[in-house]
Amino acid sequence: MPAREGTTNGTPPAGSTAPSGGSAPAARPGDAAAAPDDAASSGGGAPAAPPSATAAAPDEAATGDGGAPAAPPSDTAAAPDDAASSGASAPAAQPGASAPGDPPGGGEPGSPAADSPSASGGPSTVVAEPTVVVALVWSLFPLIGAGAGWLLRSAADWLESMRWVPWRWAFKVVDSVEEPWTTVTALVLGAVAGLVVAGMAAAERLTVTVSDRAVLLVRGDSRREVVRERITGAFRDGKQLVLLGPVAEELARESSDLGADQLRTAFEAHGYRWHAEGDPYRDEWRRWTEGAPGLPPGADALLKVRQRAVDKNDRRDLVELRDELTRLGVVVREKDKRQYWRPTRPG
The model's pLDDT over 38-48, given as tens digits with 9 standing for 90+, comes to 433 333 443 44
For residue 60, name the pLDDT band (cuts at 50, 70, 90). very low
The dihedral over CA atoms of 250, 327, 281, 232, expressed in degrees to the nearest 10, equals 50
Residue 188 domain flag: yes
The whole-number pLDDT of residue 165 equals 72
Looking at the fold, whether 248 and 236 belong to one and the same domain comes out as: yes
Looking at the fold, whether 239 and 190 belong to one and the same domain comes out as: no
For the chain, what is the domain count?
Answer: 3
DSSP assignments along 27-81, one per residue:
PPHHHHHH-HHHHHT-SSPPPPPPHHHHHH-HHHHHT-SSPPPPPPHHHHHH-HH
Q: Which domain holds residue 155?
A: 131-203
Is residue 65 a contact partner of residue 41, using CB atoms and an 8 Å limit? yes
Least confident span in 7-16, 142-151, 256-265? 7-16
Looking at the fold, whether 229 and 264 belong to one and the same domain comes out as: yes
Looking at the fold, whether 289 and 236 belong to one and the same domain comes out as: no
The pLDDT of residue 291 is above 70: yes
* CA atoms of 119 and 225, how far apart (whole Å): 14
Looking at the fold, whether 198 and 222 belong to one and the same domain comes out as: no
Residue 64 domain flag: no
* Average pLDDT in the chain: 73
Domain finish residue from 203, 227, 253: 203
Residue 190 domain flag: yes
Domain finish residue from 259, 280, 301: 280
338-343: strand order across its sheet: 286-287, 338-343, 330-335
Looking at the fold, whether 317 and 335 belong to one and the same domain comes out as: yes
Looking at the fold, whether 271 and 293 belong to one and the same domain comes out as: no
Looking at the fold, whether 145 and 161 belong to one and the same domain comes out as: yes
Residues in the chain, how many?
347
Is residue 199 a contact partner of residue 191, using CB atoms and an 8 Å limit? no
Instruction: Name the E strands within the chain.
Output: 125-127, 206-210, 214-219, 222-227, 233-237, 240-244, 250-255, 286-287, 330-335, 338-343
Please tell me which residue, 253 or 181, carries the higher pLDDT value.
253
Residue 219 domain flag: yes
Looking at the fold, whether 292 and 269 belong to one and the same domain comes out as: no
Average pLDDT of 140-153?
91
Looking at the fold, whether 270 and 295 belong to one and the same domain comes out as: no
Q: Residue 319 carries which DSSP code? A: H
In the three-class reduction of DSSP (H, G, I as helix; E, B as strand; rest coil), residue 303 is classed as helix
Helices marked H in 155-244 — which ranges? 156-161, 168-176, 181-203
CATH number for the domain that contains residue 256: 3.30.720
